[in-house]
Structure 1
Amino acid sequence: MSNQTDPDAVFDAIGDPMRRRVLEVLRAGELPVGELAARLPIGRPAVSKHLRVLQGAGLVRHRSEGTRNLYAVAPEGIAEAQRWLVGLWDEALGAFAAHVESGIQDQDEPSEGSHE
């Protein structure tokens, strides 16, 4: 997997409520699939499928320790989603500021029928 995470893949992955729950559980630290399944209302096979999607989107990473695979949140994937949201927010704020500024300029200009 590349170091660059695709924002579309990130948002597609977290669009599923159960995958969001998996991420919430993993926020506390890395866990094996069995412990994740014990904390969720789904079985191990379903947890494994959700982990594959989250890993493919760059939101989860795993490491092997002996015979166990431990999963954890991948901060770089979360950072990509944050960058995308910040960019969207910056554009919205910029458009709002331009709108407010144009309204202030309109108020400063005398109307055609007024005599000052």
Structure 2
Amino acid sequence: MGAYGEALAVRRLAAAGMIILARNWRCRDGEIDIVALDGDALVICEVKTRSAGPYEDPMAAVDQAKADRLRRLAAHWLDQHGGPPQGGVRIDVVGVRLPSRGAPQVEHVRGVT
């Protein structure tokens, strides 16, 4: 389910004009789901996928601890890839809901932290 949600997120980001640099990038502190360029800004993107049912909203899954971890991971990416781009760094979240019937619902929120 997670890989399917990430594939939907990649399509949404690419359709918005972003260039996907990496998927599932890992370092010693964890993983970044998607790294992309939006113009001259680097985007660190967390993807949360939920199936139909009484589960929390996918967007609610990114709490302060998760946001702090994403900032640390972004710093590792920048260390390994030559520092921040001219447009800076932004952290986005893509929430994917998979209803029991019908098309998936994909929500992209920019600059969550």
Q: TM-score range by the shorter chain?
A: under 0.3
Answer with 1 or 2: which has the greater Rg.
1
Structure 2 length-normalised TM: 0.26
More strand by share: 2
Return the structure number with greater helix share. Answer: 1
If the length of structure 1 is used for normalisation, what is the TM-score?
0.25
